[in-house]
């Protein structure tokens, strides 16, 4: 009995499918999961239907292509909506927050305290201690205005 027949390829396909699924969890990119599904289906078909290894490889390749393109099409038409769309957009997250002027805004520029940090700010001239509202940002510079 040769090594390929002794291996029982369906177990190898099922193991490959699990390894690819774990790889998708470790390095998420919504790509390996489709190939993992193709490997699992190939393993199940090889288990039920007596087909040779070359046919199994072709089946895996076809299922992978169909799964990847089908998955991409599905995700394009059903995008994943973030629970917090501003999660990594720090400037967007602070819009609407109240800040206190720590360095007088003169000539349209100064510094404000937000939380435990100080930010550069642009807005109407204000003395130290004035409470303002963040209305926007330009990179790391906050745009401030009197609260409405």
Distance (Å, whole) CA 37 – CA 64: 8
C-alpha angle 117-121-127 in degrees, rounded to nearest 5: 95
Instruction: Tell me what pLDDT residue 7 has.
Output: 61
Question: Which domains are seen in the chain, by residue range?
Answer: 3-77 (no CATH), 90-145 (2.40.50.140)
Residue 54, pLDDT above cutoff 90: yes
Q: Tell me: the pLDDT tens digits for 24-53?
A: 999 877 789 999 999 999 999 999 998 999
Q: Tell me: the pLDDT tens digits for 110-122?
A: 999 998 999 999 9
**Which uninterrupted H or E stretch holds 136?**
strand 131-138
Q: Which residue has the tokens 């290894």?
A: 53
What is the pLDDT of the chain when averaged over all its residues?
A: 89
For 146, the token pair is 């009197």
Instruction: Tell me what pLDDT residue 140 has.
Output: 87
Lowest-pLDDT choice from 40-44, 54-58, 92-96: 92-96
Please compute the mean of the pLDDT values over residues 127-144 and round it to a whole number: 93
């Amino acid at each position: 009995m040769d090594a390929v027949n002794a291996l029982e390829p369906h177990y190898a396909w099922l193991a490959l499918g699990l390894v690819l699924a774990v790889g998708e969890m470790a390095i998420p990119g919504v790509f390996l999961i489709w190939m993992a599904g193709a490997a699992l289906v190939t393993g199940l078909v090889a288990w039920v239907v007596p087909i040779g290894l070359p046919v199994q490889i072709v089946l895996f390749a076809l299922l992978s292509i169909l799964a990847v393109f089908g998955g991409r099409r599905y995700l394009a038409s059903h995008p994943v909506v973030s629970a917090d769309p501003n999660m990594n957009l720090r400037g967007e997250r602070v819009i609407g927050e109240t800040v206190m002027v720590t360095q007088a805004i003169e000539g349209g520029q100064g510094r404000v305290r937000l939380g435990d940090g100080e930010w550069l700010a642009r807005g109407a001239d204000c003395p130290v201690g004035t409470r303002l509202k963040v209305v926007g940002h330009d990179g790391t510079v906050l745009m401030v205005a009197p609260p409405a």
